[in-house]
Amino acid sequence: MAEYVNKQVIELNKVTEENRNRATRSVKTETHLSDGRTGVYRLAAVCFGVLCVLQVTLNISLRLAFCTGRVVEGSGMAVQTMRTVLKCPKGWRMLGSSCYFLSTERKTWEESKLDCLARGADLVIINSRQEQKLLYQLHGDADLLVWIGLTDSVNEGTWKWVDGTPLTTSYWKSGKPDHGGTNNKDCVEVNHRDNVLANWNVAPCNHMLHWICEKLQK
């Protein structure tokens, strides 16, 4: 009986040992597999991170290249625009945003108007105080009487510019314009000797004077 019990105990110990060994092998196998999967996951994460960095770098590079191209192109257009705006015909002078031509000869008001039209311009139309002052730069120190593009020849007392627009702001000399008698003073001259903001005078349109043409930049 004792021998039988001992055999059973020995058999039980063998079974227990085998189960323990199997369990150990199972744990090692699972651990190995787990470590392998973890390594794969880590490698995948690193690769994904690298791809993200490369994508961001590529996007930034493309955006910078695009923006740089736009800046260069825009700068070229701006330079070209400035060249176009600042270019005046030979013999003309840029003042403000327009080109002006001061004649060296004298003609009647009507002849002066036709001369300007032949040059693709008009007798000067003064639209602002600034332009009125700028014209003195064109005269310099010369003692000149010049025609401007203002007349009331169509309707006495109704002053209009050569483009048909009515007079709204004026710089008449004191006491002008006058309409007394039959002197036919229907055209306007500028006297450079007078005050810069009060130097318009009426004169007969057949007087022979210098004139100023104006060409607007487009």
How would residue 75 be classed by pLDDT, with cut points 50, 70 and 90?
very low
- Give me the pLDDT at residue 59, please: 65
**On the CB side of 175, how many CA atoms lie within 13 Å of its CA?**
1
| CA atoms of 116 and 191, how far apart (whole Å) | 20
What mean pLDDT do residues 81-108 have?
A: 83
Read off the pLDDT of each residue in 88-93 and give the average, rounded to a whole number.
93
Q: Which residue has the higher pLDDT, 36 or 117?
A: 117
Beta carbons within 8 Å of 145's beta carbon, 6+ residues apart: 189, 190, 191, 192, 203, 209, 210
Predicted confidence (pLDDT) at residue 6 exceeds the cutoff of 60? no
How much is the mean pLDDT over the chain? 76
Q: What is the pLDDT of residue 27?
A: 46
Mean pLDDT of 24-49: 58
Q: Which residue has the higher pLDDT, 45 or 150?
A: 150
Query: Under CATH, what is the fold of the domain 93-216?
Result: Mannose-Binding Protein A; Chain A (3.10.100)
Which sequence spans correspond to the domains of the chain? 1-87, 93-216
CB atoms within 10 A of CB 170: 14
The whole-number pLDDT of residue 144 equals 82
How much is the average pLDDT of 176-197?
Answer: 81
- 195 secondary structure, DSSP code: -
Top pLDDT among 206 and 141 is at: 206
Q: Which pLDDT score is estimated for 194?
A: 85
Per DSSP, the residues of 139-192 read HTT---EEEEEEE-SSSTT--EETTSPBP-S--BPTT-S---TT----EEEEET
- Is residue 108 very low, low, confident or very high in pLDDT (cuts 50, 70, 90)? very high
Over pLDDT 70: what percentage of the chain?
56
Q: How far apart are CA 171 and CA 94, in angstroms?
A: 22
Give 188's pLDDT tier (boundaries 50, 70, 90). very high
Q: How far apart are CA 88 and CA 100, in angstroms?
A: 9
pLDDT tens, 158-186?
A: 999 999 999 999 999 998 887 554 567 89
Please state, in angstroms and rounded to a whole number, the distance separating the CA atoms of residues 152 and 204: 11
Q: What average pLDDT does range 8-36 have in this prediction?
A: 55
CA 107 to chain centre: 42
Average of per-residue pLDDT across 212-216:
93
pLDDT at 73: 45
Using only C-alpha atoms, the chain has a radius of gyration, in whole angstroms, of: 48
Q: What is the DSSP string of 83-152?
A: HHHH---TT-EEETTEEEEE-SS-B-HHHHHHHHHHTT-EE----SHHHHHHHHHHHTT---EEEEEEE-
142-158 residue pLDDT tens = 668 999 999 999 998 89
